Amino acid sequence: MEESLIYKRWRRLDGRRLKDGLISVVEKTLIREKSAGHRLKLCIGSDSQVRGGIIEFATVIVFLREKKGGFMFIQNEKVEQDMNLKERLITEVARSVEVAYGLCDLLDQYNIELEVHADINTDPSFKSNTALKEAMGYILGMGFVFKAKPDAFASTSCADKVI
């Protein structure tokens, strides 16, 4: 069985690896940020890029400090697999949902808002729109707040930049 994203290696934007498990690091981060007086919201998103026969996925957890900027944790992974566009987009969503699901109890405990962002366009003239209904149903069905382009910055800007 494939290892869960919650247990894979995560890093900061500057490349430093998270030393403890993701849940532990997120909890310590929430405690530190709240004690500093910051009001937080988390946004989770994934993106992917195909290079040859390799698909590279990036999943990010973006910590937004209300009116004080933010930071993110990153997980990259390369897989050798053929996927059409719709399969790849749903896989991105599944990766984001897996992380959101793994963190949701902790976020509820600390009363932190959570959004799951999908790199899918709401405009039907774009190819990615073919996965919109499935992605929206998947995310909303899991009980998470759903954001798509142009409001899905965690996937379209943050994850996109770290592939």
Q: What pLDDT digit, counting tens, does each position of 15-28 carry?
A: 999 999 999 999 99
* Strand ranges for the chain from DSSP E: 11-12, 40-51, 54-65, 70-80, 113-121, 145-149
Residue 124 has pLDDT above 80, yes or no: yes
Residue 1 has pLDDT above 70, yes or no: no
Report pTM.
Answer: 0.95
Distance CA 157, CA 47 (A): 9
Any idea where the domains of the chain sit in the sequence?
Answer: 5-161
Axis crossing angle, helix 85-109 with helix 132-141, rounded to the nearest 10? 20
Q: How many angstroms separate the CA atoms of 163 and 53, rounded? A: 15
> Residue 95 corresponds to which tokens in the numbers above?
């990766």
The tokens of 10 are what?
A: 């995560």
What's the CATH number of domain 5-161, 3.30.420, 2.40.50, 2.40.30, 2.60.40? 3.30.420
Taking only the tens place, the pLDDT of each residue in 28-37 is: 999 999 999 9
* Mean per-residue pLDDT of the chain: 95
Strand partners, 62: 43, 72
Mean pLDDT, range 154-162, rounded to an integer? 97
- Residue range 136-158: mean pLDDT, rounded: 97
- Asked if omega into 124 is within 30° of 0 (cis), the reply is no
Q: What confidence score (pLDDT) does residue 156 get?
A: 96
Whether the per-residue pLDDT at 2 is higher than 90: the answer is: no
Alpha-carbon span 49 to 40, nearest angstrom: 29
